[in-house]
Amino acid sequence: MKKETVATLENYVNTISPSGFEGEAAKLWKREAEDFADEVHGDRHGNSFAVVNRGGSPRVMLAGHTDEIGLMVSQITEEGYLHFTTIGGWDPQVLPGQRVKLRGKEGTLTGVIGRKPIHLLEKEDREKVVKPEEMWIDIGADDKEEAEGLITIGSPGVLDYEFTHLQRDLVAARGFDDKSGGFVVLEAARKLAGLNPQAEIHSVATVQEEIGLRGAITSAYGVAPDVGIAVDVGFATDTPMMDAEKRKVGDVKMGDGPILSRGPNINPKLLDKIQAVAAENEIPYQVVGAPKGTGTDANAIQLTRSGVATALISIPNRYMHSPCEIVSLNDMENIIDLIAFTVESIADEGFELF
């Protein structure tokens, strides 16, 4: 992957964008899309759109959600501490002792998540998982008045982890679920702008997926696609302690290519086409079973209006919903190519097969 492309991913992932507060990420995504798209816009819900080959047919929607899990200030105490609740699905065991970044009244605030020191806990309390309501955020304020001058109830935040390179082509950050998907659909649309598609492509960075696929519902209704491809992260099961999980969600390895889901949420003819394009272009892929709705934007897209021929392509991801998710740059590059070449091959002729 080119250095400038990786830099775009890094800047995008480092934005603060919990569900309902995606504006910073949306602004960056749309600014990048303006370099290649025929049309770039947002909607009232906060979804971001890049249209390529306006007037083409059929209409194809690419979707990756731009929101991440986060925190929200729920109370400011008289002493200036911040109690908080969670946005999206957290493992509370990862929260104690973490640094946080909060959207303050005049910019970003740094704080730390505190709890009673282990030395002062009763034995039975040491063995329990601490609940979010038993923790607080310390921004160093002297009292409530000072804290209220800096932040307000309802302010969002994230854990203070940013993009970093590991060995090989692996990178770590918070929020790869699913800004890696938002990045992939942006770059797939960029690649399609340089190809010769017959389809009209609507690449969408959707909002509020982590709290119920909300942005995909509204954006898919507006786009009214014939074909939809959602990009999200999927479980890599190549780490220790995952033998039982392999039997549940599949044997998935980092670097072995995109994850293709097969099941009732997935149009079988569209999946056949994706696999044929992968074989033709020597793009590796992995298949997992999905026996019900996938819990991703693909679910909402498939069920919009009178139904959409839908597929889900996932990025192998380690340590999902933690502040140190890991993905492979090569896997993402393969997904960008796979989507672009698949969409380029979709035409009105033979479209009834879908």
CA 282 to chain centre: 26
Nearest CA to 270 out of 194, 342, 202, 212 is that of 342
- Report the C-alpha gap between 276 and 273 in whole angstroms: 5
What is the C-alpha to C-alpha distance for residues 271 and 289, in angstroms, rounded to an integer?
Answer: 12
**Residue with the two structure tokens 């993402």:** 332
Tokens of 170: 């692996």
Instruction: Give which of 50, 77, 341 is closest to 191, Cα–Cα.
Output: 341
| Crossing angle between the packed helical segments 176-193 and 3-13, to the nearest 10 degrees | 140
Query: What element of type H or E holds 342?
Result: helix 329-345
Contact partners, residue 2, CB within 8 Å, separation at least 6: none
Catalytic site residue 209?
Answer: yes
| Catalytically annotated residue among 68, 209, 325, 344 | 209
| Amino acid letter for position 135 | M
Please identify every residue annotated as catalytic. Answer: 209
